Amino acid sequence: MLNEIERVLLTEEQLQEKILELGHTISEDYYDKNPLVICVLKGAAPFMSDLIKRVSIHIEMDFMAVSSYGTSTVSSGEVRIIKDLDASVEGRHVLIVEDIIDSGLTLNYLLDLLRRRKAESTKIITLLDKPHHRKVDLKPDYCGFEIPDEFVVGYGLDYAERYRNLPFIGVLKPEVYNR
Ligand SMILES: O=P(O)(O)OC[C@H]1O[C@H](OP(=O)(O)OP(=O)(O)O)[C@H](O)[C@@H]1O
Ligand code: HPA
Ligand SMILES: [Mg+2]
């Protein structure tokens, strides 16, 4: 697997250092708010898992699975709910955890859904922001790194469901896409 990586964009150390910082910020901003922290599966699972361990206030967790990419590197534009939340968000301070914002379509859809379900507040934390291909006007409230316009894998991010288990963020060798 490692021989399929062309370049490491963000090392494990860089990711963990940033996550520690983000955890402190969330702990301060949500002090006494008991936020409902929602992980957008599958990509955000590693980030969610590391982030919550750096948050020092009470939180609750929930999970939602949506998909718009399938096996492609380009968003289909159509967001499908694969798994819905277990509990109601009505009156809750919701923090949505994402691995990456690219076109913005996934989060635009989720934000709209959670607001219609009467969440008290909705904020977004994303590990990566790739602002070049935005199709909707959407900015994260908290962001780890802004990255260049390249398809990245690792630390939850996949290409055709693979590479999610890499501990860093990297770029694949071009020949991997031609297989
Ligand atoms: O801003 P966008 O263009 O909508 O892209 C970002 C979304 O796409 C990826 O998920 P994907 O739909 O591939 O599902 P996955 O997390 O299971 O890989 C990623 O994890 C984000 O959720
Ligand atoms: O760069 C990316 N990598 C993996 N999944 C993605 N979903 C949106 N952008 C990306
Ligand atoms: Mg994906």
Testing ligand 2's pocket by substitution, the residue of 41, 73, 79 carrying the most ligand atoms inside 8 A of its CB is 73
- pLDDT tens, residue by residue, 78-116: 788 999 999 999 999 999 999 999 999 999 999 999 999
* 162: in domain: no
- Asked whether the ipTM of the predicted complex exceeds the cut of 0.95, the reply is yes
Asked if residue 149 lies in contact with residue 130, where contact means CB atoms within 8 angstroms, the answer is: yes
* 46: in domain: yes
Q: Give residues with Cβ within 8 angstroms of 8, minimum separation 6.
A: 168, 169, 170
* 176: in domain: no
* 118: in domain: yes
Whether residue 100 has its Cβ less than 6 Å from ligand 2 = yes
Whether residue 177 has its Cβ less than 6 Å from ligand 2 = no
Whether residue 129 has its Cβ less than 6 Å from ligand 1 = no
Question: Distance between CA atoms of 153 and 158, rounded to whole angstroms?
Answer: 5
What residue numbers bound the domain in which 138 lies?
A: 13-151
Asked if residue 149 lies in contact with residue 132, where contact means CB atoms within 8 angstroms, the answer is: yes
- pLDDT tens, residue by residue, 40-58: 999 999 999 999 999 999 9
What CATH number is associated with residue 112? 3.40.50.2020
* 117: in domain: yes
Active site members: 102
For the chain, the domain total comes to: 1
